[in-house]
A and B are shown apart, each in its own frame.
Chain A
Amino acid sequence: MSENNLHNEQKLLNLLEKKFILKGGSVRRERRVEVKVEPKEIVPVLLYAKENSGYTAFTHMSCVDWIEDGEFEVVYILWHPEEKINFFVKTRVSRDNGTLPNIDFIWRQANTYEREIREMFGIQFEGLVGREEFILEDWEHMPPMRRDFDTVKFVEKTYFERPGREDAKDVREYVQERTDEELPDFAKKYSRD
């Protein structure tokens, strides 16, 4: 792709580097800009992108569990409706009692996303208004989307064993046992390894 097309994306990065302290940022490809910040810089960066640069649409907010570093990474995705560019803002908080600022005075729909992340991962948001119980009812265990929550063991303890699938094998092994078919190499590897 020609370099001239990345002009609009580069414009935003230049403006942000002048005003805020960024921990890293790049234009990944056409229509995709990403920026890494500290937690206390989230609200100024988002407000600047919304009001001055035209990134007025809030698309998504999600959370990644980096258990090896001991941190959660929260990603905010914004969208520019005229120039059609995605903008990613990434922050990291610690896994034990991490807190983030609350952004639902900028976009009201962020309230739902923040409540889900609070219930599923355990990150607290300062000043978030909403019931503690969102999707799960009477849940007393660890927040279930963390990587150290062993889902299979929990299921075996709580619910009944499924008849016919006692060993929980992958269906590719069954296929290989019952027919003498030779699986190709790319299909033999499990995607979770």
Chain B
Amino acid sequence: MYNDKESQKIVDIIQNYARKHSLFILAYGTGCGAIEIPPTMTSRYDAERFGIRGAATPRQADVLLITGYLATKSLKRVIKVYEQMQDPKYVIGFGSCTINGGMYWDSYNTINVLDKYIPVDVNINGCMPRPEAVIAGFVKLQKQIQEGKADGWDKYKKNLDYYKENQKKIITNWVMPDFNW
């Protein structure tokens, strides 16, 4: 009766509209860039008009903000948190430390390129990015969700071996639960 492709598209449009207008951020500041999140959420550069609010646990959150550098100690915990979140989930990398190592590129303890360990959807550059830049990053993520291209979570499931091999290279004491979805 109904054309299958046509009705699928309408459902997708409603789905993406609902997903892009209510993003729950996990309240977890991993690095020194976390100091730019409170100004973005409070009165002057109001992020709540986009529907963005804070959630307390990984089970309820959509977006994981990696704000700044990640030591190998934090990377282990971030991977555990990322695998506890429910699909569909998005990762935003703040600052230049997630893009190519930034100021700490030659440190023996921090990772350089975040995209090889967990899939990143949007990168915001700056050291630290100003709240206007943060909101511009969120608008870009919203546009990606609307077009259906923000599929980092799908990439993680399909290329799990590649990501796990990269992670196991630097985390030598691997005491982590198996990822089962």
Q: Do chains A and B touch in the complex (CB under 8 A)?
A: yes
Does B137 interact with chain A (Cβ within 8 Å)? Answer: no
Most buried by B among A144, A149, A151, A162: A162
Check: B178 CB closer than 8 A to any chain A CB.
no
In the complex, are the beta carbons of A137 and B173 less than 8 A apart?
Answer: yes
Selected A-B contacts with CB under 8 Å, 8 pairs: A137-B173, A138-B171, A151-B108, A152-B106, A155-B112, A162-B105, A162-B112, A164-B100
Partner of B111, one of A136, A137, A144, A159: A159
Q: Is the CB of A155 within 8 A of B172?
A: no
Which residue of chain A is the closest to B112 with respect to CB atoms? A159
In the bound assembly, the distance between CA atoms of A189 and B73 in angstroms comes to 36
Say whether A144 contacts B113, CB under 8 Å. no
User: Which B residues from 146 to 181 make CB contacts under 8 A with A?
Assistant: 169-173
Q: Is the CB of B100 within 8 A of A155?
A: no
A144 and B72 CA atoms in complex are apart in Å by 15
Interface positions of B (Cβ within 8 A of A): 72-73, 76, 100-101, 105-109, 111-113, 116, 169-173
B109 / chain A contacts, CB cutoff of 8 Å? 136, 144
Taking A136-B109, A155-B105 as contacts, is the C-beta distance between A160 and B172 under 8 angstroms?
no
Please tell me if the beta carbons of A160 and B73 are within 8 angstroms of each other in the complex.
no
Binary interface encoding of chain A residues 148-173 relative to chain B, with 1 for a CB under 8 A from any of its CBs, else 0: 01011011001111111100100000
Query: Beyond A137-B173, A138-B173, A163-B100, is A144–B108 a contact (Cβ under 8 Å)?
Result: yes
Describe A's contact surface by its main secondary structure: loop
Residues B107 and A151 in contact, CB atoms below 8 Å apart: yes
B100 & A165 in contact (Cβ 8 Å cutoff): yes
B26: min CB distance to chain A, Å = 22
Given contacts A137-B72, A160-B116, A162-B101, contact A154 B172 (CB under 8 A): no
Interface residues on A, range: 10 to 19
Q: Which residue of B lies closest to A156 (CB)?
A: B106
| Chain A residues with a Cβ under 8 A of chain B | 136-138, 140, 144, 149, 151-152, 154-155, 158-165, 168
The reply to whether B72 and A155 contact each other, CB–CB distance below 8 Å, is: no
Partner of B170, one of A136, A159, A163, A164: A159
- Please determine whether A162 and B113 come into contact, CB atoms closer than 8 angstroms: yes
Give Cα A152–Cα B104 distance, bound, in whole angstroms.
12
Contact present for A165 and B170 (CB under 8 Å): no
CB distance B107 to A155 under 8 Å? yes
Q: Which residue of A lies closest to B175 (CB)?
A: A138
Chain A residue contacts of B101, Cβ below 8 A: 159, 162, 165
- Asked if B100 and A162 sit within 8 Å, CB to CB, the answer is yes
Instruction: List residues of chain A with CB within 8 A of the CB of B76.
Output: 137
Q: Nearest residue in A to B100 (C-beta to C-beta)?
A: A162
- The distance in angstroms between the C-alpha atoms of A137 and B171, with both chains bound, is 9
Q: From residue B166, how far is it (CB to closest CB) to chain A in Å?
A: 8
Q: How far is the CA of A140 from the CA of B100 in the complex (A)?
A: 25
How close is A190's CB to chain B, nearest CB, in angstroms?
14
